[in-house]
Structure 1
Amino acid sequence: MAIDGRDAHDLLRDLIALDTVAAGEGAAAALTAGLLDDAGLSTRTVGWEPGREQVVAVTPEPAETPPLTFTGHLDTVPADARDWRTDPWLAELDGDHLVGRGASDMKSGVAAFLAALRDHRSRPHRCRGVQVVLTAGEETGCDGAARIPADLLRPGGWLLVGEPTANRVVPAHKGALWLRLAARGVSAHGSAPELGRNAVVALARAAVALHDAADWPEAEGFGAVTANVGLLNGGTQPNVVPDAAELLLDLRTVPGSGPEELRSRVRAIVGPDVEIADLVDLPMVSTPLDSPLVAAVRAVLRDAGLADEPSAPARFFTDASVLAGALDAAGTVVLGPGEPGQCHVVDEWCSLTRLEQAVDVYGRLLDSWCSPGSDLLDMG
């Protein structure tokens, strides 16, 4: 089986050309909603402010079983064009690599699945049921997925996440606990710092201590909890002792390390005078290696001539942290053409070969899902 991946090439270029950095996802939602409409799905867009629209689409045929759901996010992290060798939204071709912000994370996954779905829907068959959920605001803590009304989603079935795995099946990923740390000080003239209490210095010490901490909990297969100081700011100008400062901390969680324990560990590291508040609390996702979903995806990968051995849990989180529960999904896997090492980097790229492979793999999975004689009919 070989599906032409050129449609996915063009769609990926079109998606990269849309600047969807934590806003503006509406343009990408409109583009993809049109394609899903053309494929015969019942399509809705939903957002929480202008430009922050998302897409929920489902095959309209009556289904005796829950659908196979694909999800991907339309937003990206920022890109400073001064650091890139080309315009981040130009989608320049460099050999087999298509370069641009979102190429790997994760507009390639969206493009590949939509190309495969369009081909799948073009061939008459009794469709078992397919659902597509394209979100906004994933990069800022799955904001969009959490805002999708429950009555727009068709529950049950399997959840396929198109995040970057280089077309390897990943049955689990870490969770995330983002904390806001705040310090209060006493303002004074910059020439007399001893008369004040510097809030920035207090949080700078906390930042170094958090960065250097080495005793975070571990879990088999997942590795250790990680801690990243992602933002530190405070003060107004050089000649004023800052009386307030803020630090944002990103903890990636593993089984057995709950939010309460991690907050306590952070408190022990930064001391009693620093305020701690939750920003994001996303659960990890884990599907057993012997589950029907993992077996089905591995079979499809083998048929496509690709490696089928499951990879270790991903370090990143995905919208599955929200959607797996909202859908009451029977299982979740992450599988996408992007390169995990290209997430959030300068000159981000995706291999067009992997993009074409993903179109093929997604197409095979869709066909197996809907095949009348397939064992998958008993696996959802």
Structure 2
Amino acid sequence: GLAAMVLAMISIHDHHLLKHGTLRLMASFGEEIGEQGSKLLKNKGYMRDVDALLIGEPTGYQIAIAHKGSMDVRFTSHGIETHSSRPQNGYNAINPLMKLLIEANRFFNHSSKTNSQLGKLTFSTTIFNGGDQVNSIPALAQAEANIRTIPEFNNAEVEKNLKEMIAKQNKAGAKVDLDVYMSEPSIETNGQSKFIKLAQKIGAEFVGKAIPTFALNPVTDASNLIIDKGPDFPLAIFGPGNDTPHQVNEYVDQEMYLKFIDIYIALFTAYLNN
């Protein structure tokens, strides 16, 4: 998507297609590991005068106007090591961590809170490590989880609930710490802007079918870039791709890729020139 935008901008520049306005390329870094690049762009003021934003994530011939938030959290449980024949002399770091994760999975994944576009929050334990010898009570255990949040169940509320669960375990004798090392909010726009309607119209002309709007599960740089823009802001997450991201056979169809360059050229110039 980023390269397609660059090629589109080169063509717009070389053929003098832009008569009004400014087209800005914002190439971020670290999008997969905390979105540090978009945070920097936002903090440097690059979004201050932006009237519409297109993010080239691989949506294919559909436009995302909303996405869930994402939190990466780490739980560290401290115990007292001892021989497994005398467990009463130590404290098993794994046990309270298991209780915490079971409670968190049950609480978050069975919540009744939902969003009409994004659905429900999801909580997934993705890493678990504890102990290093089968006949020793472990003194340390760690687990990591990823939570996909929604406006109705936001990041701050999730963190508050986790801290309450941890406090309950610690009151019973555990020593569990929480580290929220990534927290990006959900984004929800209404998709009613002129920019979205134009993207749908131009996209349909190039591909010969309707271009629907939808809500995306993965988080994007929009979490940082438009966090203060409100639901009316023209956001289009629209780029060449399919359902193979993060798979060993990830690919983009050549015809779709080349069409997206033309779509970007037509969309950017039509929006800014009118």
Distance in 1 (CA, whole Å) between partners of 2:51 and 2:96 is: 49
Answer yes or no: is 1:215 the counterpart of 2:119. no
Answer yes or no: is 1:256 the counterpart of 2:159. no
Q: What TM-score comes out, normalization by structure 1 length?
A: 0.62
Q: Which residue of 2 aligns with 1:299?
A: 201
Deviations 1:315-349 (A, max 9, x none): 0110110112478994212001121x212222222
How far is the alpha carbon of 1:136 from its aligned partner? Answer: 1.4
Classify the secondary structure of the residue corresponding to 2:207: coil
Q: Tell me the matched-pair count.
A: 263
Q: Is the 8 A contact 1:168 1:307 kept in 2?
A: no
Q: Which residue of 2 aligns with 1:346?
A: 248
Select which of 191, 194, 209 maps to 1:289. Answer: 191
Unaligned runs of at least 5 residues, structure 2: 171-175
| Residue correspondence of structure 1 range 68-147 to structure 2 within 5 A | 109-125=1-17, 126-147=19-40
Classify the secondary structure of the residue corresponding to 1:224: coil
How far is the alpha carbon of 1:209 from its aligned partner? Answer: 4.6
How far is the alpha carbon of 1:202 from its aligned partner? Answer: 3.2
Q: What TM-score comes out, normalization by structure 2 length?
A: 0.84
C-alpha spacing 1:280/1:262, structure 2 compared with 1 (3 Å): same
Distance in 2 (CA, whole Å) between partners of 1:251 and 1:122 is: 45
- Decide which moves more: 257-266 or 347-356: 257-266
Deviations 1:67-86 (A, max 9, x none): xxxxxxxxxxxxxxxxxxxx
How far is the alpha carbon of 1:141 from its aligned partner? Answer: 1.9
Q: Which residue of 1 aligns with 2:173?
A: none
Answer yes or no: is 1:242 the counterpart of 2:135. no
Distance in 1 (CA, whole Å) between partners of 2:160 and 2:233 is: 33
C-alpha spacing 1:210/1:353, structure 2 compared with 1 (3 Å): farther
Q: Which residue of 1 aligns with 2:74?
A: 180
Q: Is the 8 A contact 1:112 1:355 kept in 2?
A: yes
Unaligned runs of at least 5 residues, structure 1: 1-108, 375-380
Classify the secondary structure of the residue corresponding to 2:24: strand
Distance in 2 (CA, whole Å) between partners of 1:357 and 1:320 is: 24
Q: Which has the higher contact order (CA 8 A, sep 6+)?
A: 2
Distance in 2 (CA, whole Å) between partners of 1:244 and 1:226 is: 27
Distance in 2 (CA, whole Å) between partners of 1:316 and 1:221 is: 13
Q: Is the 8 A contact 2:64 2:215 kept in 1?
A: yes
| Residue correspondence of structure 1 range 1-380 to structure 2 within 5 A | 109-125=1-17, 126-148=19-41, 150-151=43-44, 153=46, 155=48, 156-211=50-105, 214-216=109-111, 217-266=113-162, 271-273=168-170, 274-325=176-227, 330-339=233-242, 341-371=243-273, 374=274
How far is the alpha carbon of 1:174 from its aligned partner? Answer: 0.9
Deviations 1:39-90 (A, max 9, x none): xxxxxxxxxxxxxxxxxxxxxxxxxxxxxxxxxxxxxxxxxxxxxxxxxxxx
Q: Is the 8 A contact 1:115 1:359 kept in 2?
A: yes
Q: Is the 8 A contact 2:42 2:224 kept in 1?
A: no
Structural RMSD (CA): 2.6
Counting aligned pairs with the same residue, the percent is 23
